[in-house]
Structure 1
């Protein structure tokens, strides 16, 4: 089966639409959410080709296929993350500036800043005294580098 578009996302479905269907999942690393062309396998052993026509990243909960009885959903494997928890706007600005200079992509959930684990970032956070923890966690979207150069 070749998937050329995302049908919807489970967050947009009504509970009865979601609960009345058999679900298969495709587990992807967060880095693979940006790949528009890839070969994957569901947790039930079904092989799929993904060739998205639209220039968009996949997200956790995206529905690749759906009929009256079945659906195939994207799920994301956990990442090794640093969960940064600044106590003030000063700490937030300081760490955001430092990580921006390193071109590290970040995501935000509530009052937490998420970055992929890097021992150099751990050393920086310890040096600055900014609270953080290391945790395996699923992210909804891929960590995406923003194109930029200092030329």
Structure 2
């Protein structure tokens, strides 16, 4: 089966099929428009999205009255950064920006993929953080940039 478009997202669906198969993806794979995957029931699928969009956790790839196939994102090894002041937030945002590291935000927390150098930086700057395995809803998008 070739999937060319996302049907919807389980968070927004009013009616769901009784049987659910899941495709478990790393967050990095959410940005791939073309890929071959296997469901947790062993069914092989091709994904070739027509729309230029990233997959997100809970996206429904297929649904009929009996079955649905849903994207589930695997947990990432993250640094959860919890600055306590605006200067701390500004300093770590500046440092991460200089390294071109993508970040996500949930409430008052900044999430970045684990990097031992960032962990050392947080310790040096005395910025509160914790290392945690956590599921993110969308991919960490790396943005290309050149310094001219």
Question: Considering the TM-score relative to the shorter chain, is it more than 0.5?
Answer: yes
- TM-score, normalised on structure 1? 0.96
Q: CA–CA distance in 2 between the matches of 1:39 and 1:120?
A: 34
Structure 2 unpaired stretches of 5+: none
**Aligned-residue CA RMSD (Å):** 0.8
**1:48-101 residue CA offsets vs partner (Å, 9 max, x unmatched):** 000001111100000000111111000011110000000011111110010000
The answer to whether structure 1 residue 130 and structure 2 residue 127 are counterparts is: yes
Number of aligned positions between the proteins: 148
Normalized per residue, the structure richer in helix is: 1
| Residue 147 (structure 1) shift | 2.5
Q: CA–CA distance in 2 between the matches of 1:46 and 1:104?
A: 35
**Corresponding residue of 1:45:** 42
| Residue 21 (structure 1) shift | 2.0
* 1:75 aligned counterpart, secondary structure: strand
| Residue 13 (structure 1) shift | 1.1
Q: CA–CA distance in 1 between the matches of 2:58 and 2:22?
A: 9
